[in-house]
Amino acid sequence: MLRVPTVLGKPINIWEGILLILLLAFQLSSGLRLIRVPLKYHKLNGILIFTVAMTHAFFGLGVWFFGFTY
């Protein structure tokens, strides 16, 4: 049985959800030019969003459907 790692007493997928909200806010802000950042950082942030979202989904779906434990 797989166990979901915990950080400060909370499952990692909770922390990843909070991180995703922050990354998406940065992506939206830089895409709309509310904050000025080079295109390189906008692209790197997109890759980071994809990576964090995939691990977030892995653990979330694992808990929901496949019996992962905390």
Phi, psi angles (nearest 5°) of residue 16: -65, -35
Mean pLDDT confidence for 32-54: 96
Cβ–Cβ under 8 Å, residues 20 and 59:
no
The three-state (H, E, C) secondary structure of 30-52, written as one string: HHCCCCCCCHHHHHHHHHHHHHH
Q: What is the mean pLDDT of residues 53-60?
A: 96
Q: What is the pLDDT of residue 70?
A: 86
Q: What is the pLDDT of residue 56?
A: 97
pTM: 0.88
Cα–Cα distance measured from residue 51 to residue 64, given in angstroms and rounded to the nearest whole number: 20
pLDDT at 1: 78
Residue ranges of the domains in the chain?
10-65
At 6-42, the pLDDT tens digits run 999 999 999 999 999 999 999 999 999 999 999 999 9
